Structure 1
Amino acid sequence: MKNEIEIRKRTLVVSVMLALFVGIILIFFPKTTINTETLNADITTLEKKFAVLSKARTNFCAGPNILELTDSDRLQGSCCSAMDFHRYKEQVEGLKKYSDIDKIPEDPYDISKELTNELLDYQKNINLTSEQQKIYDGAVLLSDEKGPCCCKCWRWYAFEGLAKYLITEHDFNSEQIAEVWNLEDGCGGKGHAEGEGH
């Protein structure tokens, strides 16, 4: 009789532990499925956006007067080389880390003219101290393009303005500025190095 009670206790403990284990799996399994579905939806959305942006031509190699040269309210597409989906995905994912700063475009191939105009104003109107200029100059040396863009087009001036804003308003250092410039590269191509694909 004593053995029977002991066996029932063990069976009950094992059953409770098994039920808890199964319950935990059931609780966490749907979350894994949702995350996977969300990830797949994000990739599908990004692929659709890429399909549109890779054919868009409202972004091209021009000076700050590009704002007057295009009728669209957005500067979309690549200016130099064909866009590469793998690189585009890396850039968009990398920029998510700066999503709390609304002056940093979330997509390097889709920037509003309104934001571009603001960044161009920063370039003209924000003056850096000598210490802040050292941060800027350090970013130039660290960046893939050795500056805000591969050439002195509208992007160069706009992202120079962005750098000035980030240095003065958010205390960004050289490495952070260079990272933002690299992620905002709108020249197209697969490259991560100066001049590749140009």
Structure 2
Amino acid sequence: MIRTMYPNRRTVILGGVFGAVTAAGFLQGPDFAIAAENPELAKRFKDLSRNGNSTCSAKFTESIATMPAMSRITGSCCSPMEMKRYAEQVKGLTKYRAIPMIPSDPYDIPAATAQQMLPYYDLKLTGDEQKAYDYAMANSEEKGPCCCPCWRWKMYGGLAKYLIHEHGFDGRQIVDVWDLSDGCGGGM
């Protein structure tokens, strides 16, 4: 570890098998181990945590419809990302990789996916389907698809209705998807 002139910042140089990877300041404590174990994930974390375009504004929600399908919605919208939580989320979401509409990274979402899922937010569910959705609303960490009624709320609310209606997901499965997909930043 190399100390810098800033007492709360550290620069870590990881070498050996992984080559020369420099991670400045954002990796502390257990994050060192995560970076050593998965340098590509650490690189993605660094990029997404510093270069995001996601916001909670109503204008941003409206702008998603006009984004090129190949563009990405990146970064957290409310709090800084945490490496440990990010690693847990990306690992946990791998169990849903067979369903392309579930983003594999909660901080790097294809605009095309958001564009497809937003209209599902207005889908009327059947009685049992609505019970599954209501269960997820009551039991997810954020008490909904996100911490506030932003683009994520509507996109992940739409995703939940899609998964319930098209894939038969129950409320517990929706809670799992929402909790793993929390893109507000911070830890859990």
Q: What TM-score bracket applies, with the shorter chain setting the length?
A: 0.7 to 0.9
In structure 1, the partner of 2:162 is 165
Aligned residues: 152
Structure 2 matches for 1:1-198, cutoff 5 A? Answer: 43-63=38-58, 64-67=61-64, 73-124=71-122, 126-190=123-187, 192=188
How large is the Cα RMSD of the aligned pairs?
Answer: 2.0
Q: Output the amino acid matched with 2:156.
A: F
Tell me the percent identity.
47
- Asked whether the equivalents of residues 121 and 158 of structure 2 are also in contact (C-alpha less than 8 Å), the reply is yes
Shift of 1:40: 8.1
Shift of 1:41: 8.5
CA distance in 2, matches of 1:119, 1:93: 23
Structure 1: tracts of 5 or more residues without a match: 1-38, 193-198
TM-score normalised according to structure 1 size: 0.72
- Asked whether the equivalents of residues 61 and 153 of structure 1 are also in contact (C-alpha less than 8 Å), the reply is yes
In structure 2, the partner of 1:35 is none
Q: Is the radius of gyration larger for structure 1 or structure 2?
A: 1
- Asked whether the equivalents of residues 54 and 77 of structure 1 are also in contact (C-alpha less than 8 Å), the reply is yes
Shift of 1:69: 8.3
Q: Higher strand fraction: Structure 1 or Structure 2?
A: 2
Structure 2: tracts of 5 or more residues without a match: 1-33
CA distance in 1, matches of 2:55, 2:66: 10
Q: Output the amino acid matched with 2:56.
A: C
